[in-house]
Amino acid sequence: MNDLYADWAWIYDTYYPDRTGEVCFWAGQAERYGRRVLDLMCGTAEVSLELARRGYRVLGVDLSPAMLAVAGQRLAAAADYPARGLSLVQGEACTLPVTGAAFDFVLVGGNGSFSHLDDDLALASLREIWRLLRPGGGLGLELMNPHLLKEVYPRRTFGPLRPTPPGVMVEKSVANRYDPRAGLFHIEQVTRYEIDGQRGETAESFALRVWQPDEIQALLAGAGFGESRLYGGYDLQPFDRWSSDLLVLAERLPEPLP
Ligand SMILES: C[S@@+](CC[C@H](N)C(=O)[O-])C[C@H]1O[C@@H](n2cnc3c(N)ncnc32)[C@H](O)[C@@H]1O
């Protein structure tokens, strides 16, 4: 398995702003359905842990050993955290290593996680989610707003949004290209870092699937979910071309898969 996050998992969190609003949003959604939550493509499990701290019983699943290693460190360092609330498992979204579990709510958060999946994997993964959700259980997907991709994300270099560990400096350069016909957002990124005076560099090149609102709604319907609702961000404002995100919420239908 090629782990796309292998070289930069250790600084992944520093490039995210404070995630309190996001955690409150997902906690509010989960609250409507029940306490058993699957955080699919959980990455470093920052959101998973905060949900566990709020009393949810969370399973975090991710493909990347590097991201899960950071998640494990986070868990080990969380002295206040009741260990039974969060479990982490390595797994592929379309063949989840989970049997006999039922979840009340599944989230695929982190702007772009679901977009790592191509069309076939995306459908297969939604069917896996359907298998693991109880009838009537909820699903939330956070996707990129395709309208914004045409206008923002130029080639640029930027520093982390959060403090880095002592003695560590990092800087990321990205060059992005949106291909609306193919529905793909191509990303080339280089991360340069210095740890205690020693310089290093990582480079990744990958494409994310950009879902149009009607495409993702059709995909969800084909995977056994009821009518999906589109929002533009965590405050649940209506989705429009200027929205920061495309948030999609839906419920699992009770019927067997179409
Ligand atoms: C942008 S990160 C988001 C992580 C996390 N959800 C967050 O909000 O920080 C995307 C994650 O998706 C995971 N991922 C990519 N493809 C996957 C797959 N096929 N199955 C499971 N996880 C996958 C990556 O390993 C990575 O940790």
Instruction: Count CB atoms within 10 A of the CB of residue 138.
Output: 22
Query: 167: left (phi > 0), else alpha (psi -120 to 50), else beta?
Result: left
Q: How high does pLDDT run on average in the chain?
A: 92
Q: What is the mean predicted confidence (pLDDT) over 243-248?
A: 94
Residue 217 has pLDDT above 90, yes or no: yes
Comparing 87-101, 142-156, 198-212, 213-227, the range with the smallest average pLDDT is: 142-156
Residue 22 CA: nearest ligand 1 atom is: 8
User: Is residue 189 one of the residues assigned to a domain?
Assistant: yes
Does ligand 1 come within 6 angstroms of the Cβ of 116? Answer: yes
Is the same domain home to 84 and 189?
A: no
With contact defined as beta carbons under 8 Å apart, do 93 and 121 qualify? yes
Residue 225: what pLDDT? 97
The Å distance, Cα 43 to ligand 1 centre, comes to 5
Does ligand 1 come within 6 angstroms of the Cβ of 67? Answer: yes
Residue 81: what pLDDT? 64
Is the same domain home to 200 and 217?
A: no
Residue 108: what pLDDT? 98
DSSP one-letter string for 55-110: T-EEEEEES-HHHHHHHHHHHHH-TTS-GGGEEEEE-BTTB-S--S--EEEEEE-S
> 234: domain range?
9-146+211-251
Does ligand 1 come within 6 angstroms of the Cβ of 68? Answer: no
Q: What is the 3-state secondary structure (H, E, C) of 156-224?
A: EEECCCCCCCCCEEEEEEEEEEEECCCCEEEEEEEEEEEECCEEEEEEEEEEEECCCHHHHHHHHHHCC
Is the same domain home to 125 and 158?
A: no
User: Is residue 113 one of the residues assigned to a domain?
Assistant: yes
pLDDT tens per residue across span 225-235: 999 999 999 99
Is the same domain home to 100 and 158?
A: no
Is the same domain home to 137 and 180?
A: no
Residue 65 structure tokens: 């050993």
Residue 16: what pLDDT? 87
Residue 17: what pLDDT? 86
The Å distance, Cα 41 to ligand 1 centre, comes to 4
Residue 151: what pLDDT? 59
pLDDT tens per residue across span 123-176: 999 999 999 999 999 999 999 999 988 755 668 899 999 999 889 999 999 999
User: Is residue 21 one of the residues assigned to a domain?
Assistant: yes
Tally of domains within the chain:
2
Residue 84 has pLDDT above 90, yes or no: no
Q: What is the pTM of this model?
A: 0.95
Instruction: Tell how strand 57-62 and strand 246-251 pair up.
Output: unpaired
Residue 4 CA: nearest ligand 1 atom is: 25
Residue 214: what pLDDT? 97
Instruction: Tell how strand 57-62 and strand 133-143 pair up.
Output: unpaired
Is the same domain home to 91 and 107?
A: yes
Is the same domain home to 161 and 57?
A: no
Is the same domain home to 15 and 88?
A: yes
Does ligand 1 come within 6 angstroms of the Cβ of 92? Answer: yes
d(CA 102, CA 111): 25
Residue 255 has pLDDT above 80, yes or no: no
| Distant-in-sequence, close-in-space partners of 230: CB < 8 Å, separation ≥ 6 | 213, 217, 238, 239, 246, 247, 248
d(CA 75, CA 79): 8
User: Is residue 111 one of the residues assigned to a domain?
Assistant: yes
Closest CA to 47 of 65, 32, 59, 63: 59
Q: At 252, is the pLDDT very low, low, confident or very high (cuts 50, 70, 90)?
A: very high
Instruction: Count CB atoms within 10 A of the CB of residue 91.
Output: 18
Residue 198 has pLDDT above 80, yes or no: yes
With contact defined as beta carbons under 8 Å apart, do 144 and 185 qualify? yes
User: Is residue 69 one of the residues assigned to a domain?
Assistant: yes
User: Is residue 164 one of the residues assigned to a domain?
Assistant: yes
Residue 173: what pLDDT? 94
Does ligand 1 come within 6 angstroms of the Cβ of 85? Answer: no
Q: What is the mean predicted confidence (pLDDT) over 193-211?
A: 94
Residue 39 has pLDDT above 80, yes or no: yes
Is the same domain home to 175 and 129?
A: no
Q: Count Cβ neighbours within 10 Å for each residue of 155-165 and write b for 16 or more, e otherwise.
A: eeeeebeeebe
Is the same domain home to 120 and 242?
A: yes
CATH number at residue 57: 3.40.50.150
For a mutational test of ligand 1's pocket, the pick from 63, 118, 141, 208, i.e. the residue with the most ligand atoms closer than 8 A to its C-beta, is 63
User: Is residue 180 one of the residues assigned to a domain?
Assistant: yes
Does ligand 1 come within 6 angstroms of the Cβ of 48? Answer: no
Residue 89: what pLDDT? 96
User: Is residue 256 one of the residues assigned to a domain?
Assistant: no
Does ligand 1 come within 6 angstroms of the Cβ of 63? Answer: yes
Residue 83: what pLDDT? 56
Residue 258 has pLDDT above 60, yes or no: no
Q: Is 231 helix (H, G, I), strand (E, B) or coil?
A: strand
DSSP one-letter string for 246-257: EEEEEEB-SSPP
Q: What is the mean predicted confidence (pLDDT) over 52-63?
A: 95
Is the same domain home to 131 and 245?
A: yes
Is the same domain home to 201 and 221?
A: no
Give Cα 15 distance to the centre of its chain: 14
